[in-house]
Amino acid sequence: MAATPARRAAYEVVLRVFEQDAYADRALASVAAALEPRDRAFAQQIAYGTVQRVRALDHGIETLARRRVAKLDPPVRAALRTGAYQLAYLSGVARHAAVNETVELVRAAGLERAVPFTNAVMRRLTVGLRDLLEGLRDGPVKLSYPDWVAGVWERDLGREAALALMRAQNEPLETVVRLVRGEIDGEPTDVPGAYRVERVDERALEEGRIWPQSRGSQLAGLAVGSLPSDRTLDLCAAPGGKATQLAGEVVAVERHEGRARELADNVARLGATGVRVVHADALDLPAELTGFDRVLVDAPCSGLGVLNARPDLRWRAEPLPELQLALLRVAAERARPGGTIVYSVCTLNADENEAIVAASGLAADDLGAEWPGFRHPTRPEFLLTLPHVHGTSGFFVARLRSPV
C-alpha cells in the first residue's frame, strides 16, 4: 500500500526543507501542484506543521526511540517527523494510518532495512508522544523555537510575554486584506482600509481590488503619512504592498531583478499610477534620486514577527543590523532637510529595532500619540504590533526626521 498523495507531498517538503535547505512554500508549490485542493490543504497542514514543530518532534522521537535523529537516514528522519506531527498535533487522523503510511514512505525510499525500525518507533510514538510533549515545561523545546529567539524575546518582553508570543506564533494569524477599490465582504478593523476576511478572494486579488496584507504591515505604510503633493522614496519596495499604499509620487526601489519585475506587475495590477519602479541597489542609488519629502525603509530583517506565516523562517532567521543601519543612513541622505523617514521591520528584536534608530542619531516623531493602540510598551514614541496582543504580525515602526 502506497502512501496517500497528501502525505507523500508533505514528506517531500520536509525532506527538501531540512536536507536541501529549500523554502517550505516553494517546495510545496513544486510537489503539490497536481493535487486536488483538499489533498493540497492536508499536505500543507502536515508539512508546515512539521517544519514549525520540528524541535519538539525531534525531542519526542529521540526520547522514545532512544536514537539521535541526526544519525538517521534522511528519508527515515523526514518520514518519522511527519508521522510524529500527525500523532502529536492533529486530531481526526487515524493513528494506524499515520503509522502505516510513515512506514510506506520509508519503504518507497528504498530503505527496506529501516522498515522494522520505523514501524517500532511509530508504535512507541503512538503510545507516548502526545503525553510526553504536553508534559514538557513551557519553553523553546516544547514550543519549538531556537534558544536564541526565545532568549531575545525574554530579554525584551519578559518571560511570560515571551511564552505568550511563542504560543501565538505557532497558531494561524487572522486573514486580512487591504481594500484598494470597490467594496468587500469583510469586517473592518482598527487599521483604516484593513479588513478581516474568511479567505482571500482570488478574483478580487487578480483584478487588483484587494491586497493580502496584515494590519501590522498596513500600519507601517500608513505611518508614512504621504500626501498627494509629496515625493516619497521606498528603498526596499517589493512586493509592493506598502509602496502602493502611498499617495503622491513614489519611487519604488528593488535590488533583485525578478522581484523588481514582480513589483512592477503588482503596481500595474493595483492601478498605482503614481508609483515608478527602479531596479537598483538601495545602497548605490542613482544620484538624481534625492530631495524626497518622505522615505520609507521597510528593511530586510530576521522576520521574527512573521514566523507563523513562514514555518521554516525560525530555523534560518538572521538579524541584519549592519544592513538596516546602512539603509537608514541612505534614507537620511536622500530625504530633503526636515523630511520624514519611516523605518519599519517585521521583527521583534530590540537589536534590529530600537537600537538601529538610536544608532542613526535621527530624532523621532511621537507615533504612539497617533496610534495609541499600537504604542511600543517601553518606548511610546514607536509602534510595536505584537501577535499575542494585537492578533497581527509583529512590526516595529518609527518615524524619524532628517537633519535640517
Question: CA-to-CA distance for 13 and 18, rounded, in angstroms?
Answer: 9
Residue in the block written with cell 524541535? 55
Among this protein's residues, is 301 annotated catalytic?
A: no
Q: Are 306 and 361 in contact (CB under 8 A)?
A: no
- 232 DSSP β-pair partners: 250, 294
The three cell numbers of residue 92 are 481526526
Q: Which of 335, 346, 348, 397 is catalytic?
A: 346
Tell me which residues are annotated as active site. 346
